[in-house]
């Protein structure tokens, strides 16, 4: 009887897709952040939108006891919160122009 010789088969290197490289774990020196993955950012945005829709919709069912007559309008707190948030962002952009220091401020 003759013994069959085992052929050594070289394994081809595994091809990794671009998607796999994007979601690859960080190197040991670099810690991965939860929001480095774009999929997690989209999940967070969808969750925040869902919470906003639910709280806006609850305005139909929740009886509010208000101090001022304009608080009785449907969606008042959602609209007020959105407008004030936009105001804060725009005010911060303008304040940045006034308060920002030069890049080499501490070197002088």
23-37 confidence digits (pLDDT tens): 666 566 677 888 888
**By C-alpha distance, which of 22, 53, 52 is closest to 39?**
22
Write down the pLDDT at residue 46.
95
Q: Where are the domains of the chain?
A: 30-62, 64-100
53-92 confidence digits (pLDDT tens): 888 888 888 888 889 998 888 888 888 988 999 999 999 9
Q: What is the DSSP letter of 30?
A: S
Which is higher by pLDDT, 76 or 22? 76
Q: Provide the b/e sequence for 40-75 (b: ≥16 CB within 10 Å).
A: eeeeeeeeeeeeeeeeeeeeeeeeeeeeeeeeeeee
């Amino acid at each position: 009887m003759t013994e069959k010789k085992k052929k050594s088969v070289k394994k081809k290197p595994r091809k990794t897709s671009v998607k796999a490289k994007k979601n690859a774990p960080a190197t040991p020196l670099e810690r991965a952040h939860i929001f480095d993955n774009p999929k997690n950012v989209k999940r967070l945005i969808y969750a925040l939108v869902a919470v906003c829709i639910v709280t806006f919709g609850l305005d139909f069912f929740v009886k509010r006891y208000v101090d001022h007559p304009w608080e009785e309008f449907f969606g008042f707190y959602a609209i007020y919160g959105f407008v004030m948030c936009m105001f804060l962002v725009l005010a911060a952009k303008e304040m940045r122009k006034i308060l920002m220091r030069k890049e080499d401020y501490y070197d002088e």
